[in-house]
Each structure stands twice: as C-alpha cells, then as structure tokens.
A = this chain, B = another copy of it.
C-alpha cells in the first residue's frame, strides 16, 4: 500500500517538509511516496500541481496527503481543488496567532528564510568557511575565534557536526583529531591546553567505530577492533582527567549530536 505525500510551498518547501516528515514518521506501517513541489507561486503552477496530485491519487488508488504552507488565498483555492487530505499549516496556526499577537501577519511569499544579504547569511557563510578551514586540526592558530572545538578520535563524527552547527546556526566550530601520542600522555597538545573552556569531546562505541573505519580502510590496523577499543578507552580517560565534557555519537543523528553540544556547552546561535 503506497500513499503519496505532497509538500507544497510558495517558497523552498522546507517548512512543509520538516513538519510533514515529522508527522508522517509517526505512522510506521505506511509507505509514503514523498513529492516536494516548491515555488508554487502562481495559479498556473498550482493548477499543474493539482494535476500531478490527481494523477498520483489515481495511480495509487489512495487519497494523497498534502502539507501546504502557501499563503496566497487564490493559490490556496486552486490547491483545494485536489480533493486530497490537506494539512493546512499556515491557516490553522496563523489566525489564532494573529489574535494573540494583535497584529495581522504579513502573508508574504517566502518570508521564512533569510535572504542572501542578511546578517544571518553572512554569519552562516563565515561559519561554514571557518569549519572548512579549521577541520581535522588543519590549522590551529585561529582557535581564539572558535565558539567550540570538537575533539575525539578519527571518525567519531567531528566533521559533520562542525559543518551542521555552521550551516544551521552560524556557530564557528573547529575540530582536532586526538592521536595516540596525545592520549598516551594523558595531556592535551599545546594548541588545545590553553583553550580548555572551548573543548567538547566526542566518543563512540568501539565496535561501531571499527565498522565505520573499515568502510574507509578495510582490514587495516586503524580499523581493527583492538585498536578501536584501545583508542576509545584512552580518549575517554583523557576527557575525564582533563574535565572535558563529552558525549557519545553512537546512536545519534547529526542533529541530535549538535543539539546536545549546543545545550551542554551553552553555545549561542547566530540565527534561528
């Protein structure tokens, strides 16, 4: 049994997708065929969307679900013609919010995402460049600018986490891979020892680490279970003995890892 789910927006469709997927994920036994229709900002485009939805309903024999954030009334009316099951995000919430806030909403197209010239856009690009330039210990002399410096063994999830924090929140995150030498000494390398308040550790289940490393370098010493158990054990000792807060990335998505780091390290987002 296949159900079509359409995400329809006059902008990128990201709000409709995020909310819609979050709701759909609550229904585990149903297979959804997801289609995003962004930039539906004219009645003509809406008519084409309706035709696509009707075709999908006919093909699957099931009522389609529509998640819709279109604000223009005339375009909405066209979409209503699809006779699908409509989850109308804006009208359900905007009208009560208008009453509570005592102000009419702007009902403008594509308001919800930052434009290319805004402060938050500049902060985001600066943070992405910072994450790229200060990845994997490549450069350590700009750690003064960092909001946070992630530390951990190779393949514990540092790079994706730094990029996500930069992309989503404009946070400047560097990362430094701890080597066996650092760990055996139980002392931090010089470039980190005076930045202790910025350090955040990542650890990971050794079996999982070994599986990840094997994908990159199969059957190497680097990927061996023995080596992974050893490194993880040492790195956790290092975190403990230096009072570095840390968390495990084993069963966490990149979103979850970053949300937890931001909360635990009390990092300030540069935009929302």
Q: How far is the CA of A250 from the CA of B117 in the complex (A)?
A: 8
Complex: chain B residue closest to A67, CB-CB = B93
Q: How far is the CA of A19 from the CA of B101 in the complex (A)?
A: 17
Report chain B residues within 8 Å CB of A107.
Answer: 26
Q: How far is the CA of A33 from the CA of B167 in the complex (A)?
A: 21
Query: A interface, how many residues as a size bin?
Result: 35 or more
Name the interface residues of A40-66: CB closer than 8 Å to any CB of B: 63, 65
Q: Does A192 contact B (CB under 8 A)?
A: no
Complex: chain B residue closest to A114, CB-CB = B253
Query: Are B103 and A29 touching (Cβ within 8 A)?
Result: yes
Complex: chain B residue closest to A32, CB-CB = B272
Which one of B27, B108, B128 lies within 8 Å of A101 (CB-CB)?
B27
Known A-B contacts A27-B101, A27-B105, A106-B28; the reply to A14 vs B255 at CB < 8 A is yes
Q: How far is the CA of A23 from the CA of B27 in the complex (A)?
A: 25
Q: Does A190 contact B (CB under 8 A)?
A: no
Report chain B residues within 8 Å CB of A255.
Answer: 12, 14, 113
Rounded to whole Å, the gap between the CB of A152 and the closest CB of chain B is 15
Report chain B residues within 8 Å CB of A254.
Answer: 124, 167
Report chain B residues within 8 Å CB of A217.
Answer: none
Report chain B residues within 8 Å CB of A110.
Answer: 256
Q: How far is the CA of A203 from the CA of B187 in the complex (A)?
A: 49
**What would 13 A/B residue contacts be, using CB atoms closer than 8 Å?**
A12-B255, A25-B111, A26-B112, A27-B97, A36-B259, A38-B259, A85-B100, A87-B96, A92-B93, A128-B160, A132-B159, A164-B167, A167-B167
Q: 6 closest pairs, A vs B, by CB?
A: A26-B105, A22-B112, A15-B22, A12-B259, A18-B18, A25-B112
